């Protein structure tokens, strides 16, 4: 009897000790991660509020409660001891087994095509003397094999293997999961919000510009690569056409397979160093047409590559597919004189000395640069101040765009903070507003984190 009671008592004590330990450990682990004391594996397992209250006097309070519940869910799952590493290990193992099995079946069933008949006829050469194979786009010479790795409800993640050209590289890209009816409904809301903001800026005599981080699915050729999926090019083109009262609007060039591979990471939806510089040149060129005093784009000296840093981006992480990687590179560019209080900094020293995050799916895109909300270049004297309404695409470009202005301020809609546009423009002497967002976010509000209604224009 006493022995049984003692065992039960020990069991209760043990369980209570574990719960108390986890109750304390998760917040401490969170603090250590955010302060950089040590990093916790980020597996992008973020929870959204279960409900969003649209109206009523208690809506703001109830939404805060829902956001708090989601935050607690994140805290007591993502920051459990070894949680990220265990989940990543299991998902990678599952992905590898699935891929190997599908690859085996594909190779087993594949038949070697018959050799083409030999001919003594020379290839026809056009009158201009150009070889037709050289003129032909690379995508027309390629064949693609694809496999869907995951569908998380927002995106379908495809690994894509091209064949037919030795220079073509494999990559991971995404297709939107929601039905077209939902995409259309969200797009109508976003068009109205963007036009409301552009009209307000125009009424104040401020120049409004729009730039989108475009995706492969926003181009027509996606159906050549993944024939069973649709292109969102008609939606994107309509969205751009219906944006009004801008001084200029443009989008990242991913309109060919070659440009997609040059401007976007192979395993991430973000632009690469070359893509970010291309976007910067687009934006400065667009604004320069109306305000030549901001000057021309700063010349790119080249790229700084870190051969030891293997980039596996967010698409690789979410799909747990580790077989594709690329060398991490950043822009080598010389900026004008900066105000030490409001400037970009980077982790070049850590990366050069090998002290970078060596996690298999480390988010080097997010880790390399800091993200101030204000920049100042005191020697520019352009007489122009810029407000950027941005997202994660901004991280690799806002500090460079800012180098052509006197002062630049950055606002992230996903922070869900109110911004009184008239008051902000007046207080900070804003002359130009640039809305620069990823197309998933600005066209379709796919992540439900682009509440443009928080930008007050009344």
Q: What is the pLDDT averaged over residues 424-433?
A: 98
- 97-106, 287-296, 298-307, 320-329: least confidently modelled range: 97-106
Q: What is the pLDDT averaged over residues 316-337?
A: 94
In this prediction, residue 327 carries a pLDDT of 96
For residue 112, pLDDT over 70 is answered with no
CA-wise closest residue to 236 among 447, 443, 446, 389: 443
How much is the CA Rg of the chain, to the nearest whole Å?
Answer: 25
In this prediction, residue 101 carries a pLDDT of 56
For residue 70, pLDDT over 90 is answered with no
Query: Cα torsion at 436, 439, 440, 442 (round to 10°)?
Result: 50
| Higher pLDDT among residues 137 and 42, named by residue | 137
In this prediction, residue 400 carries a pLDDT of 97
Whether the CB-CB separation of 346 and 354 falls below 8 Å is answered with no
Q: What is the pLDDT averaged over residues 40-51?
A: 63
- Annotated domain spans of the chain: 2-80, 180-456
| Higher pLDDT among residues 223 and 75, named by residue | 223
Burial class (CB in 10 A: 0-12, 13-18, 19+), 265: buried
- pLDDT, one tens digit per residue, over 132-141 is 444 456 888 8
- pLDDT, one tens digit per residue, over 152-168 is 999 999 999 999 888 89
- pLDDT, one tens digit per residue, over 17-36 is 887 887 787 787 777 776 66
The DSSP result for 367-390, as a single string, is HSB---SEEE-TT---S-EEEEEE
The Cα–Cα gap between 26 and 18 comes to 12
Tracing tokens 């020293």 back to the chain, one arrives at 349
Query: Cα torsion at 390, 391, 395, 401 (round to 10°)?
Result: -20
The Cα–Cα gap between 438 and 239 comes to 13
The Cα–Cα gap between 198 and 179 comes to 29
In this prediction, residue 107 carries a pLDDT of 54
For residue 105, pLDDT over 70 is answered with no
Report the chain's mean pLDDT, rounded to a whole number.
Answer: 86
For residue 56, pLDDT over 80 is answered with no
């Amino acid at each position: 009897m006493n022995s049984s009671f003692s065992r039960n008592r020990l069991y209760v004590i043990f369980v209570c000790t574990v719960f108390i330990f986890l109750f304390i450990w998760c917040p401490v682990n969170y603090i250590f991660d955010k302060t950089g004391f040590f990093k916790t594996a980020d597996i992008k397992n973020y929870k959204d509020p279960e409900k969003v209250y649209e109206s009523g006097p208690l809506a703001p309070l109830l939404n805060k409660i829902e956001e708090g519940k989601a935050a607690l869910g994140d805290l007591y799952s993502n920051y459990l001891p070894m949680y990220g590493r265990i989940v990543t290990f299991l998902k990678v193992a599952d992905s590898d087994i699935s891929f190997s099995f599908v690859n085996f079946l594909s190779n087993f069933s594949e038949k070697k095509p018959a050799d083409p008949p030999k001919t003594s006829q020379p290839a026809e050469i056009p009158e201009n003397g150009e070889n037709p194979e050289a003129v032909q786009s690379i995508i027309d010479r390629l064949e693609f094999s694809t496999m869907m790795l995951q569908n998380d409800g927002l995106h379908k993640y495809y690994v894509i293997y091209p064949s037919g050209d030795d220079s073509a590289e494999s990559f991971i890209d995404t297709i939107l999961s929601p039905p077209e009816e939902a995409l259309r409904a969200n797009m109508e809301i976003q068009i109205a919000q963007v036009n409301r903001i552009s009209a307000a800026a125009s009424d104040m005599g401020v120049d409004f510009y729009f730039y989108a981080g475009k995706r492969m699915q926003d181009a027509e050729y996606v159906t050549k690569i993944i024939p069973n999926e649709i292109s969102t090019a008609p939606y994107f083109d309509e969205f751009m056409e219906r944006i009004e009262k801008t001084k200029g609007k443009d989008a990242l060039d991913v309109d060919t397979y070659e440009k997609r591979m040059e401007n976007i990471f192979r395993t991430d939806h973000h632009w690469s160093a070359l893509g970010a510089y291309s976007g910067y040149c687009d934006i400065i060129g667009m604004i320069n047409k109306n305000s030549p005093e901001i000057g021309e784009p700063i010349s790119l000296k080249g790229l700084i590559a870190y051969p030891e840093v293997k980039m596996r981006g967010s698409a690789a992480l979410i799909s747990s597919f580790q077989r594709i990687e690329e060398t991490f590179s950043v822009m080598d560019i010389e900026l004008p004189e900066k105000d030490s209080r409001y400037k970009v900094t980077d982790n070049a020293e850590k990366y050069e000395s090998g002290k970078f995050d060596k996690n298999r799916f480390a988010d080097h895109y997010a880790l390399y640069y800091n993200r101030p909300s204000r920049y100042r270049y005191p020697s520019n004297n352009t007489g122009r101040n810029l407000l950027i309404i941005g997202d994660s695409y901004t991280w690799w470009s806002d500090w460079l765009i800012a180098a052509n202005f006197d002062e630049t301020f950055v606002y992230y809609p996903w922070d869900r903070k109110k911004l009184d546009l008239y008051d902000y423009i007046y207080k900070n002497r804003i002359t130009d507003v640039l809305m620069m967002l990823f197309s998933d976010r600005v066209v379709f509000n796919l992540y439900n984190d682009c509440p443009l209604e928080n930008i007050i224009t009344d």
